[in-house]
Amino acid sequence: MAQVATRAEHAKRLLTDPLFVESRQTLESQLKELICTLPLGERDQREQAVAMLKGAEQFFRIFELIAFDYEVMQAELLREEQINARHQAIQEQLDHA
C-alpha cells in the first residue's frame, strides 16, 4: 500500500510539474501540427506521426492511471472502514438492547 501511495504521489507531482506540463503540451501540439500540415502524398510520414502521438498519449496516460488507481483504492478503503464502523455501531446497539 505504501509503495502504491508513493508511486501515486510521484505521478501526481510529475503531472503537475510545470516543465512536464509544458513538455507534454509542446510534444502533443507539434505532433498534431505535423499531422495536419503534411501533404496528402506523405501518407507514411503522417502514419508515423499519428503513431508517435498515440504513443505519447499512452505514455502520459500511465501517470494519470497510477494516480487514479490510488484514488480509487483510497475510496474503496474508506468505504470499507465506514461499513465496518456502521456494523460495529449496530452490533453495539444490539448488545446494549
- Distance of alpha carbon 43 from alpha carbon 51, whole angstroms: 12
* Cβ within 8 Å of residue 86, ≥6 positions away: none
pLDDT of residue 18: 95
Domain span at residue 36 reads 2-96
| Residue whose C-alpha cell reads 468505504 in the numeric block | 79
> pLDDT tens-digit profile of 23-67?
999 999 999 999 999 998 999 999 999 999 999 999 998 888 887
| Residue whose C-alpha cell reads 509542446 in the numeric block | 26
- Distance of alpha carbon 67 from alpha carbon 73, whole angstroms: 10
pTM score > 0.75 for this model? no
Total domains in the chain come to: 1
- Distance of alpha carbon 68 from alpha carbon 63, whole angstroms: 9
Question: Can you read off the three cell numbers belonging to residue 80?
Answer: 470499507
